[in-house]
Amino acid sequence: MESLDWLELFSFSMSPLEIMLRGTFMYWLLFLLFRFVARRDIGSVGIADLLIIVIVADAAQNGMAGDADSLVDAGLLVTTLIAWNRLLDAAAFYWPAFNRFANAKKVLLVSHGRKLHDNMRREAITDEELDAKLRENGASSLEEVERMYLESDGQISVIRKK
């Protein structure tokens, strides 16, 4: 049985700048892929939320399982990823133009009780999915609905007729 090398465990095995650059590159690559290539699933978590969960879990796993050369490598990578996530949230909050880039626009699915099939097709939402969301929101038919939207976070919102 080998003895534990405490110095190796708690020292950087590569340049901290390289770790931060690798984390930054992967964060933005995955963000752009999820934002512009992957479709929104109804009721899914936001893209940035999903992204941070997946890549932080992977980075932390590397440190815990020993795939990274040290705990501080993994810790710095996780910190870099979380920092980018927080900066993205702050930029979207303070700059409306960045918010439009970072978050998908809401899509009108039903207007005045009529399904907008072109919008539904573009978002890959079936009639069955829309009907299920209608029932979940307490409406028994489209005649009760003024508008239904697919929100930027994948949720369906229903505005009922008065």
**Residue range(s) occupied by CATH 3.30.240.20 in the chain:** 107-160
Q: Which CATH class is domain 107-160?
A: alpha beta
Which of 137, 88, 85, 92 minimizes the C-alpha distance to 110? Answer: 137
Q: Please compute the mean of the pLDDT values over residues 130-143 and round it to a whole number.
A: 90
- Amino acid letter, 76: L
Secondary structure element (H or E) that encloses residue 50, with its range: helix 47-65
The answer on pLDDT for 159 being more than 80 is yes
* Sign of the C-alpha dihedral computed for residues 74, 79, 84 and 86 taken in this order: positive
Between CA 3 and CA 20 the distance in angstroms is: 30
Tokens, residue 8: 């190796």
CA distance 34 to 47: 6
**Over the stretch 36-72, which tens digit does the pLDDT of each residue have?**
766 555 455 667 777 778 887 887 676 555 555 677 8
Residue 41, pLDDT score: 56
Q: Which residue has the higher pLDDT, 53 or 145?
A: 145
Q: Is 108 helix (H, G, I), strand (E, B) or coil?
A: strand
pTM above 0.75, yes or no: no
Confidence band for 117, pLDDT divided at 50, 70 and 90: very high
Per-residue confidence band for 73, with pLDDT thresholds at 50, 70 and 90: confident
Weakest mean pLDDT among 15-29, 30-44, 91-105: 30-44
Q: What is the pLDDT of residue 44?
A: 58
Question: Residue 69: its pLDDT value, please?
Answer: 64
pLDDT of residue 54: 83
Residue 153, pLDDT score? 77
Report the candidate in 65, 54, 60, 7 with the shortest Cα–Cα distance to residue 31: 54
